[in-house]
């Protein structure tokens, strides 16, 4: 280790110069040069010596270093081949880091975790995300079928607001519901542009996601729920009734069934989607599933269920 952390502005500059590294915009490369922010991220994720961490995009290793210092083991996935030699150098003092050269959206995360972290009791995901793939990465972990307790992600502030939004607010929509069905979501803190090299064009925020012990409502057919939620927000300014008719059909039979489903779920059809809670959407989805009201073909159903289609 030099005497300075990787995240100090001068050390980052040295590393970038030593390896003639230009940050690749296309890969969302903005490196953090502020150790306080990194420590706040580590604390937000409750990282301790029992915690195994999956990191996406270690970059030149600034966050990885702090995770290695405070955590048990860090498993980091980096897509940019140029960074592998850099990371070997910058992270050489830490024996508890494994860097995998792979695209996180293509990697078999479950298999890699089983191989590299076989005795992982506590597992968290922490990343300063490449912003161009924020939601695909998030959904990759939501559906990864791994015992992940918490996730801490740096992302664009607007996306953070949408993910954590509550009913009745402008930012609340299908993304908020899809994430909050599984996780409790909160903005931990916002981050100024000045902590990055190079500085991004957008404001950033840290989102803290904590796995729910039980979902807000049990779903008889999860794909029906996720499709319903999306359909309810197609035209935000329209009522739920108008959006549902547009998505499921205006024929008498479908309309009659939808009226009954709305009654059963105790939802006034003149409300807008943005006023419905997750519980209400869940009740309505179960009432739809019971009456076999569906705008889905089988292929969509499967894709929605496995999360293999990124819809957000």
* 88 binds ligand SAM per the rule CB under 6 A: no
Among the candidate windows 125-133, 164-172, 219-227, 247-255, which touches ligand SAM by CB under 6 A? 125-133
**Residue with Cβ nearer ligand SAM (79 or 183):** 79
Residue choice 5, 11, 21, 31 for contact with ligand SAM (CB under 6 A): 31
Interior/surface letters 183-201, b for 16+ CB within 10 angstroms, e for the rest: bebebbeebeeebbbeeee
DSSP helix/strand/coil, 257: helix
Q: Supply the DSSP string of 53-78, one letter for each residue.
A: EEEE--TTSHHHHHHHHHSSEEEEEE
DSSP helix/strand/coil, 205: strand
Q: How far is the CB of 25 from ligand SAM (least distance, A)?
A: 10
* 105 binds ligand SAM per the rule CB under 6 A: yes
* Cα dihedral across residues 70, 75, 77, 83: positive or negative: positive
Q: Are strands 31-32 and 51-56 parallel, antiparallel or unpaired?
A: unpaired
**Residue with Cβ nearer ligand SAM (169 or 308):** 308
Among the candidate windows 90-98, 127-135, 261-269, 288-296, which touches ligand SAM by CB under 6 A? 127-135
Q: How far is the CB of 276 from ligand SAM (least distance, A)?
A: 34
Cβ(15)–Cβ(59) below 8 Å? no
* 78 binds ligand SAM per the rule CB under 6 A: yes
Residue choice 37, 42, 53, 56 for contact with ligand SAM (CB under 6 A): 56
**Residue with Cβ nearer ligand SAM (58 or 223):** 58
Give the Cβ contact number of residue 207 at 10 Å.
26
Residue 311 is encoded by which pair of tokens? Answer: 């819809």
- The alpha-helical segments, DSSP class H, found in 49-206 are 62-70, 82-90, 109-116, 134-142, 157-164, 174-180
**Residue with Cβ nearer ligand SAM (147 or 198):** 198
Q: How far is the CA of 139 from the CAs of 169, 226, 272, in angstroms?
A: 23, 13, 26
**Residue with Cβ nearer ligand SAM (142 or 258):** 142
Among the candidate windows 76-84, 156-164, 170-178, 236-244, which touches ligand SAM by CB under 6 A? 76-84
**Residue with Cβ nearer ligand SAM (103 or 263):** 103
* 103 binds ligand SAM per the rule CB under 6 A: yes
Residue choice 58, 71, 273, 282 for contact with ligand SAM (CB under 6 A): 58
Residue choice 37, 52, 59, 228 for contact with ligand SAM (CB under 6 A): 59
Q: How far is the CB of 103 from ligand SAM (least distance, A)?
A: 4
- In a 13 Å sphere around the CA of 210, the CA atoms on its Cβ side amount to 8
- In a 13 Å sphere around the CA of 263, the CA atoms on its Cβ side amount to 7
Residue choice 15, 37, 47, 62 for contact with ligand SAM (CB under 6 A): 62
Binding site for ligand SAM (CB under 6 A): 27-32, 56-59, 62-63, 77-80, 103-105, 128, 130, 133
């Amino acid at each position: 280790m030099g005497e300075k952390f990787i995240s100090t502005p001068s050390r980052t500059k040295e590393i970038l110069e030593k390896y003639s590294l230009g940050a690749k915009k296309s890969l969302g490369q903005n490196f953090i040069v502020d150790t306080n922010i990194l420590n706040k991220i580590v604390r937000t994720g409750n990282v301790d010596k029992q915690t195994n961490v999956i990191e996406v995009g270690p970059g030149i290793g600034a966050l990885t270093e702090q995770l290695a210092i405070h955590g048990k083991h860090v498993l980091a996935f980096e897509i940019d081949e140029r960074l592998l030699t850099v990371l070997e150098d910058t992270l050489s003092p830490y024996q508890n880091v494994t860097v995998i050269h792979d695209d996180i959206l293509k990697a078999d995360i479950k298999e890699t975790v089983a191989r590299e972290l076989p005795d992982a009791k506590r597992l968290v995901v922490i990343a300063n995300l490449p912003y161009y793939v924020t939601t695909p990465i998030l959904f990759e972990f939501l559906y990864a079928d791994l015992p992940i307790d918490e996730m801490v992600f740096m992302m664009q502030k607007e996306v953070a607001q949408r993910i954590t939004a509550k009913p009745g607010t402008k930012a609340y929509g299908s993304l908020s519901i899809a994430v909050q069905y599984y996780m409790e979501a909160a903005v931990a803190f916002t981050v100024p542009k000045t902590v990055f090299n190079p500085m991004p064009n957008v404001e950033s925020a840290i989102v803290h996601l904590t796995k729910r012990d039980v979902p807000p409502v049990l779903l008889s057919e999860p794909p029906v729920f996720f499709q319903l939620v999306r359909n309810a927000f197609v035209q935000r300014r329209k009522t739920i009734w108008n959006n549902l008719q547009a998505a499921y059909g205006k024929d008498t039979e479908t309309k009659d069934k939808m009226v009954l489903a709305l009654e059963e779920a105790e939802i006034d059809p003149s409300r807008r989607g943005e006023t419905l809670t997750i519980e209400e959407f869940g009740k309505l989805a179960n009432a739809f599933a019971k009456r076999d009201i569906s705008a889905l073909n089988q292929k969509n159903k499967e894709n929605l269920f496995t999360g293999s289609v990124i819809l957000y």
